[in-house]
Each structure stands twice: as C-alpha cells, then as structure tokens.
Amino acid sequence: MSDAVDRSTPAGTAPPPNPTLVVAVLAFGGIVVSLMQTLVIPIVGQLPRLLDASASDTAWAVTATLLAAAVATPVMGRLGDMYGKRRMLLISMAMLVVGSVVAGLSDSLVPMIVGRALQGLSSGVIPLGISILRDELPAERLGSATAMISASLGVGGALGLPAAALIADNFDWHALFWVSAALGVVALLLVLVLVPESKVRTGGRFDLAGAAGMATGLVCLLLAISKGADWGWTSGTTLGLFAAAVLVLLAWGFFELRVDQPLVDLRTTARPQVLITNLASVAIGFGMFSMSLVIPQLLQLPEPTGYGLGQSLLAAGLVMAPSGLVMMALAPVSALVSRAKGPKVTLMIGALIVAAGYGLNVLLMDQVWHFVLASCVIGAGIGFTYGAMPALIMGAVPASETGAANSLNTLMRSIGTSVASAVAGVVLAQMTTRFGSHVLPSEDGFRTVLALGAGAALVGFAIAAFIPRQRPAGPDTVAAAGPARAPEASGAQA
C-alpha cells in the first residue's frame, strides 16, 4: 500500500496545489470581476425610467463602482500581504456576490448604488491573484501565468458587453445581476476549494489612518475627473475637489513616510523600476480605454450620419469581443518575450502595438471589419503591456509587499482609464455635428480621441524606456518572481 503514496508529500500534509488549476481559477475570477465594468452599459440609458430617478442621479450607478474600486484595490492588497491573500480574495468575491444580490433586488436608486459600490469592492481580485501566483508557482510557470491573469481583465471587459446586451435584450434587467451573482458564487467556491493560502505575510498593524487618507484623496480626485463634465470643469465643486485631492494626498504622503507600518511603503514605491512602471501604467490605462469609448459609439450611430454603421449594442459588443480573446491568446507570447528580453522590452513593444492599432483605426473607420481589425491589434498590445507590468513590479519589491505593490499598479491603470473617459467626454462634447434635431459627436471628434489613445500609448512607450534594465537584487526580492515562502522569503511568521 505504501508504494502508492507520493513520497514527495509528507504524511498528514496537503498535496501541493496544481499550478494549472490555480491559474485557471484565478483567471476565471479575474474575468468575473472585470465583467462588472460593462455590466450596466446596456441599460444605462434606461436607468432613469427603471429607477424613477434623473439621469444625473442614475449615473452614480457607474461612478459608485469606480470610487469603491479605487479605495478597495490598495487596501485589499495591503490586507492580503498582512493577513493572507486568499482570505482577502474570498472576501472580495463575497462582496461581488452580495453587491450583485442587492442590485438584483433593487427597484430604486439607493439600493442600486449600494449594490454597485459593493461590486466595486471586488476589484482587488486580479492583483491579489497575481500575488498568489508569485507565492505558489515555480519560477518557470510564473511569467505566462501572470500574463494570463492580467489578460483576464481585458477578456472580461471585452466579453462582458455582448453578454450583458444579450441578457438585457431577452430578460428582465435584474437578470444581469443575478447572473453576476451566480458567477461570483462559482468563482468563490473554486477559490475556496482549489487555491491555497500563501504563507508569506507581513503581520503587523493595519494603517487605518493611512487608508482613510488615501481613500479621501482618491475619492476627491476621481470624483472630480468623472463628474467634472457634468458639474463644469471650472465650477467651484470640481476645482475644490481637485484642490482637496492635492492637499490630502500630499498630507497622506507626508504621514506615510513617518509611520512604522504604512499602508503603502512610499520608499519602495519610489524605486525607479516601480515608480516609472506605475507612471507608464497611467498612460497605458488611458490608451487602453480610448478604444472602449469610441468604437461602440461609432458602430451604433445611424448610417445616414455618414460615419456611423447603424449596428445594435449586441453587434457592437460582438465586434469588441475578439480583442479580449487576442489578449488571452498572446499572454504566453508576452511571457516568452519577457523571459528572453525582459518585461521592460515587452512593455515597450506592447505600447507600440497599441499605438499602431489606434493609427490603423484613424485611417480605417468605414466597415465593421475595420473595427474588428483595429480592436484586435490594440488588444494584442494591451495583452503585452498587462503581462509585463506585474512582472516589473514583482521584480522590484519584497515578496511580503507583492499584494500592495500590484494593487497600486492596478490603481494607476484605473486612474488612466478615468482620465481617458473625462478627456474623451470633453473632446466629443466640443467637436459635434448636427443630425436632424440631434447634436452628435463629429467624425473628427472620434478621430481625435483615437489619436489621443495612440499618443497616450506612445507616451507610455517613452516613459517605459527609462525603466532600469537591472532589477534590484536582494534577499527579499525575487528577481525571477519565483515562489516565495515564509519565513525565508519575508521574514514574517505564517
């Protein structure tokens, strides 16, 4: 009988996790969470009627998710480093399920906003998943696995629009949230059963004051960016929020440099490889989101405008869907390039591909296949960049700070997408044309936003060129981002 026992696994201990299953489960969780980005797009125009509220009020169903995600991402990353990444991953998935149920039961504005905010609190799933991979996977598997998890963000966003449109067109709108709740339950159970808890922890005391300061600063900043067009960019409210964001974040940084166990270790964040990667992430986030703002609108505008293609929302979503599949398909290629040339080169290549995709779209806007082609090229570039950024971050931070560092990088990308949305809104509101009794964004306005997306990607390329070639070495840094174990890896008790 004893001959049948795997001798590599001591008696009485759990067998090692199956890397393939762990990656698959975490990628599925990332896709489920990223679906929340596009979940309500098919019903945004109907929300005032469905919830018996004004359009400006129902817009908070989108804004609440953005703000909650901005606050939750760095906080959950830090808590994961301290108390266990899998534990925080499960809590994040539980928030998604609870939020989906609340929204699914809502028929008025307040519970809808509460439900959407709870869904936003699940945004830490992808950075936490990447951090778990670093702790659990062998070095030779980590690059491709990290790229795959990162690509899940784009896959969920791309597939979410047609799926949500299909559900909204054929079922009661509440079904959108019941489906997301069901997917969240499946993801939660899979994580519970198949994903191990990391032994790499920092312990210590949570920086509650630092979390409150960061949350206040980020909410002020993102609220001003996301609502500035509605309130007026020169209004007292918008300018006051921008001023408050600057003052609060400066004070927060001063405090974080002097506290023993900060929410974000700004000294680590200031390392050139981390700092420059995060700056490039803002530009890449801008470039990524410009596509999502332009292509669906152009596809749905009436053909008599001369530049619209008269497609349904479902058709527009199906046009975007292949880009997500391209991201996933190129994840292994991104990992191979990073292994051969380093993630810095991968990030720069990806940024150039994104810029080329936008340039292609500026020239080709007349046929549906033009948009399929352009979005796939852009998706390919995003797949490269999203696989490279976590690798750069993990190559420069201690294993015990992986969760917080990856979460901060995710936040930087989110800020980039928020800025893209605001800038595109301003451009499309200023560059208009009259179609019958309606005022619509002009063709030149759409081309301008596409050109800005290309420019942002080129800015990301230029910034990435300054990332140091040599990653810092040290006992706490996993240069190859291989598996880490406590106490050897972090010096912390499990």
Could you tell me the domains of the chain? Answer: 17-195 (1.20.1250.20), 208-263 (no CATH), 265-469 (1.20.1250.20)
Q: Is the pLDDT of residue 447 over 70?
A: yes
Which pLDDT value is given to residue 488? 34
Confidence band for 15, pLDDT divided at 50, 70 and 90: low
Q: Is the pLDDT of residue 157 over 80?
A: no
Q: Is the pLDDT of residue 345 over 80?
A: yes
- Range from 53-67, 206-220, 355-369 carrying the lowest mean pLDDT: 53-67
Side chain identity, residue 419 = V
Q: Is the pLDDT of residue 154 over 50?
A: yes
Question: Which one of 91-105, 205-219, 305-319 scores highest in mean pLDDT?
Answer: 91-105
Q: Is the pLDDT of residue 336 over 50?
A: yes
Q: Is the pLDDT of residue 379 over 60?
A: yes
Cα 433 to its chain centre, rounded Å, is 33
Which pLDDT value is given to residue 14? 54
Query: Would you say 477 and 396 are in contact if contact means Cβ atoms under 8 Å apart?
Result: yes
Which pLDDT value is given to residue 351? 95
Average pLDDT over residues 47-69: 85
Which pLDDT value is given to residue 147? 80
Q: Is the pLDDT of residue 487 over 60?
A: no
Which pLDDT value is given to residue 181? 95
In degrees, rounded to 5, the angle at the alpha carbon of residue 241 between the alpha carbons of residues 239 and 247 is 105
Write the secondary structure of the chain as one string of H (helix), E (strand) and C (coil): CHHHCCCCCCCCCCCCCCHHHHHHHHHHHHHHHHHHHCCCHHHHHHHHHHHCCCHHHHCHHHHHHHHHHHHHHHHHHHHHHHHCHHHHHHHHHHHHHHHHHHHHCCCCHHHHHHHHHHHHHHHHHHHHHHHHHHHHCCHHHHHHHHHHHHHHHHHHHHHHHHHHHHHHHHCCCCHHHHHHHHHHHHHHHHHHHHCCCCCCCCCCCCCHHHHHHHHHHHHHHHHHHHHHHHHCCCCHHHHHHHHHHHHHHHHHHHHHCCCCCCCCCHHHHCCHHHHHHHHHHHHHHHHHHHHHHHHHHHHHCCHHHCCCCCCCHHHHHHHHHHHHHHHHHHHHHHHHHHHHHCHHHHHHHHHHHHHHHHHHHHHCCCCHHHHHHHHHHHHHHHHHHHHHHHHHHHCCCEHHHHHHHHHHHHHHHHHHHHHHHHHHHHHHHHCEEEECCEEEECHHHHHHHHHHHHHHHHHHHHHHCCCCCCCCCCCCECCCCCCCCCCCCCCCCC
Confidence band for 317, pLDDT divided at 50, 70 and 90: confident
Mean confidence (pLDDT) of the chain:
83
Q: Is the pLDDT of residue 368 over 60?
A: yes
Confidence band for 463, pLDDT divided at 50, 70 and 90: very high
Average pLDDT over residues 399-427: 84
Confidence band for 383, pLDDT divided at 50, 70 and 90: confident
Neighbours of 241 (CB within 10 A): 21
Confidence band for 73, pLDDT divided at 50, 70 and 90: confident
Output the CA torsion 87→385→315→414 (10° steps): 60
pLDDT in tens, 167-208: 888 888 899 999 999 999 999 999 999 888 777 667 678 888
- Range from 226-230, 444-448, 479-483 carrying the lowest mean pLDDT: 479-483
Average pLDDT over residues 275-287: 91
Q: Is the pLDDT of residue 249 over 50?
A: yes
- Range from 56-70, 75-89, 130-144, 203-217 carrying the lowest mean pLDDT: 130-144
Query: Would you say 342 and 469 are in contact if contact means Cβ atoms under 8 Å apart?
Result: yes
Closest CA to 340 of 143, 145, 130: 143
Neighbours of 12 (CB within 10 A): 5
Q: Is the pLDDT of residue 216 over 90?
A: yes
280, two tokens:
């490039």
Average pLDDT over residues 72-96: 89
Which pLDDT value is given to residue 251? 94
pTM here? Answer: 0.83
| Residue whose entry in the numeric block shows the structure tokens 């994903």 | 195
CA distance linking residue 489 with residue 135, whole number of Å: 9
What residues have CB less than 8 Å from 199, skipping those under 6 apart?
135, 485, 486, 494
Main-chain dihedrals φ then ψ at residue 441, nearest 5 degrees = -60, 140
Neighbours of 426 (CB within 10 A): 14
